[in-house]
Amino acid sequence: MIVTYSRNVFLPLTRNCRNNCWYCGFRSDLINLMSKEEVEKFLKQANGAKEALFTFGEKPDQVYPEIRKILRNWGYSNFLDYVVDMNKLAIKHGFLPHTNAGILKREELLKLKPFNASLGLMLEQAVELECHSESVGKKPELRIKTIREAGRLQIPFTTGILVGIGEKRYDRAYSLEVIADLHREFGHIQEVIVQNFKPKKGTKMEKFPEPSVEEMLETVKLARQILPREVAIQIPPNLVSDVYPFLKAGANDLGGISEVTPDYINPETNWPSINELIASLRGEFILKERLPIYPKFVKLKLFGNAVSELIEVYADDNGYSRS
């Protein structure tokens, strides 16, 4: 059985966010926006990576006047136009962008689509939770609407659930059913991340217990039962002590691995090396590098026009990353 992964560079454009999730250690009110020069520096040191992973706080220009001022000084009327320009910069340097931009309207998705291999938005849970009570962008119906709109636009899409943030077992099942239904309707979900909550110091949930290995294995098995077989299940390899039992339970992707940037969302956990990943497969699985767009969608050519030439160079005949 093939297990996939992607080599990326992680670009945290800003930590400023309109949401205030009780478990998030990434968000900050300290004003910060990566300049073009900073982004370029990240890209130039990302030896061998093909994916530029753009992650940042949701719609920071809506709540931070300082961000709006910086953007105006740089010649942008809004934050999304800046993101698109950073996508273009990544392409110029030979990277395939994958952008996680939070909830988006149709016109915003259309603005990002040409310059991305794929887009992403974690559903987290399809139910209202107390930990999201201060987060306007974490309303389940808004996130589902964005994922549905991406389906209508035939954008290859990554989503997932966050386990252990106050939901019940049946909430997890329901959330996975929602994702499965969206894929059955539009066929655009390439992978579903099953991510375990990790408590962060200084947050409201710093003493909240993280889910057990047994809970996580059960959730991966549940995901494999509910999701269509063509949808990959990703287990983040830096958030579990051993990926092998999760692969046996039904996971078949190990997400993005960076050799030059940390996981800025979970900085306390290091990425494993490729050799460590291979060793963890116990000789029972074949590790293959993929692009930020999955092989099925490479073959269907469902990628942005601006990345088509790079994908032609990087993809092999089966849609995986060329060796």
Q: What are the pLDDT digits (tens) for 98-121?
A: 999 999 999 999 999 999 999 999
Residue 56: name the closest of 96, 12, 98, 103 by CA: 12
In contact, 226 and 268? CB cutoff 8 Å = no
Residue 319 covered by a domain: no
- What pLDDT does 272 receive? 93
Return d(Cα 173, Cα 160) in angstroms, integer.
12
Assess if residue 178 is contained within a domain.
yes
- Is residue 143 helix, strand or coil? helix
- Per-residue confidence (pLDDT) for residue 154, from 0 to 100: 98
Identify whether 322 is part of a domain. Answer: no
Q: Is position 323 within any domain? A: no
Q: Is the dihedral of CA 73, 79, 85, 86 positive or negative?
A: positive
pLDDT, average across residues 192-219: 97
Q: How many domains does the chain have?
A: 1
Q: Residues 253, 293: contact at Cβ < 8 Å? A: no
Q: How far is CA 158 from CA 183, 292, 323, in A?
A: 11, 9, 24
- Any idea what the CATH number is for the domain that residue 235 is in? 3.20.20.70
Whole-number pLDDT of residue 46: 82
Would you state the pLDDT for residue 155? 98
Q: Are the C-beta atoms of residues 23 and 197 closer than 8 Å to each other? A: yes
Task: State the pLDDT at residue 90.
Answer: 98
Cα–Cα separations (whole angstroms), residue 188 to 100, 182, 183, 231: 16, 8, 6, 9
CA distance 113 to 305: 8
Tokens at 87, concatenated: 């996508």
- 320 domain-assigned: no
Residues of the chain with pLDDT > 90, as a percent, come to 96
Mean pLDDT score, 42-46:
90
pLDDT tens sequence across 13-29: 999 999 999 999 999 99
In a domain, 202, yes or no: yes
CB atoms within 10 A of CB 238: 18
Tell me what pLDDT residue 320 has: 98
**pLDDT by residue (tens digit) across 217-267?**
999 999 999 999 999 999 999 999 999 999 999 999 999 999 889 899 998
Can you tell me which residue has the tokens 């078949």? 252
278-302 pLDDT, tens digit per residue, is 999 999 999 999 999 999 999 999 9
Percentage with pLDDT > 70 across the chain: 100
Q: Return mean pLDDT, the chain.
A: 97
Task: Return the closest-CA partner of residue 156 out of 204, 197, 206, 96.
Answer: 96
What pTM was computed for the model?
0.97
pLDDT band (50, 70, 90) for residue 10: very high
- Domain limits for position 123: 2-314
Q: Is the pLDDT of residue 323 over 90?
A: no
Mean pLDDT of 53-59: 98
Domain presence at residue 212: yes
Torsions phi, psi for 216 (to 5 deg): -65, -40
Specify the pLDDT at position 47. 79
Overall average pLDDT of the 153-171 stretch: 98
Encoding tokens for residue 219?
A: 């959730």
In a domain? residue 321: no
Task: Tell me what pLDDT residue 260 has.
Answer: 85
